[in-house]
Amino acid sequence: MEIKIKDAADLIGGKIFGNENSLIHNVAKIEEASEGELTFLYHPAYEKYFPDTKATAIIVKSGFEKSRDDINYIEVEKPNIALHKIIMHFFNPEFKLEGIDDTAFIDESAEIGSNTAIGKNVVVSKNCKIGNNVKIFHNTVISENVIIDDDCLIFSNVSIREDCKTGKRVIIHSGTVIGSDGFGYTPDENGIYNKIPQIGNVVLEDDVEIGSNVSIDRAALGSTTIKKNAKIDNLVQIAHNVTIGENTVISAQTGVSGSTKVGNNSILAGQVGLVGHIEIGDKVIVGAQAGVSKSLTKPGTYSGSPAQELKDRLRLEAQVRNLPKYAQRIKELEKKIGELEKFINDKNNLENS
């Protein structure tokens, strides 16, 4: 695709400084952009790349100093959001897959919607219902009674097990397993762990996106639920009977233990661990590598292990960094106290002699 700078600026409501008819055929990072490409600058850490970027045009914040006359500028309030709109409108990749491949197995009881494409070696089992405009890429296995709604995109090597459901416009990336058995066992009188049947399912609501190599366990009873517009990064484990709220984002290598509820508009950063049967409230941010051992219901930012409010954690860390200094001061004070006690004792002995 090739567009004029004016086309991009009109879409995002930007003000052009330069040649509005210059052509753009791609978008790129500021440090890698070349002629014919559009880039953006929104974070001060990347300003060092501006003098040498070879981009034809750059999206900048209002008031940015336009010190180069060999580049075209589009001025907006939020360059990162503006670039996202341009990518989605002009440069959003199309994942081409058409028809139903001859190697796919589709049970005769399955219902396949219109304009749905199914790739090589896909298995669609009994009584599945697949909506319209769905793309299912190669080597995916869909077990019995699965419902996949309209406009979903399911990449290669995904497994969706029996009775699971998706909403509309769900994206599931390669290697992910939806509906694996929850980690449910109970020990008998001899300490032998016996498996508890996991007879629930997983529900992915509208506009959910699941990264690659994610495991979302089916509920023991009821549903493990990922609510509308939640986004889950690669290598995340969601245990049985968990609920993830609307518009919540979970970063890579996070683990959420069973029956935990995560609220709406929250963020779990990378490698966060949550114990089971707790509640994370709405608008809660949990920092990277935090260990959450109890409910966090108050909106705010938390970090550390065990997780606590960020301001408290920072105060504690400041004190910990000062421990060597405190130890030296205590040592000096102990020496002075000892000297003072000796002086007092010597004085008392003199007075009594």
Catalytic residues, by residue number, are 240
Alpha-carbon distance 345 to 112, whole Å? 96
Alpha-carbon distance 308 to 265, whole Å? 19
For tokens 């879409």, name the residue. 11
Residue 121, helix vs strand vs coil: coil
User: Residue 209, Cβ neighbours under 10 Å: how many?
Assistant: 18
> Rounded to whole angstroms, what are the CA distances from 289 to 243, 260, 263, 351?
21, 18, 19, 64
Q: Which among 78, 233, 304, 276 is positioned nearest to 285, based on CA atoms?
A: 304
End-to-end CA distance of the chain: 104
* HEC-encoded secondary structure of 59-90: EEECCCCCCCCCCEEEEECCHHHHHHHHHHHH
Residue 209, helix vs strand vs coil: strand
Q: Which among 302, 287, 217, 196 is positioned nearest to 259, based on CA atoms?
A: 217
Alpha-carbon distance 25 to 345, whole Å? 89
Alpha-carbon distance 9 to 38, whole Å? 11
As a dihedral over the C-alpha atoms of residue 259, residue 236, residue 264, residue 80, rounded to 10 degrees, the angle is: 180
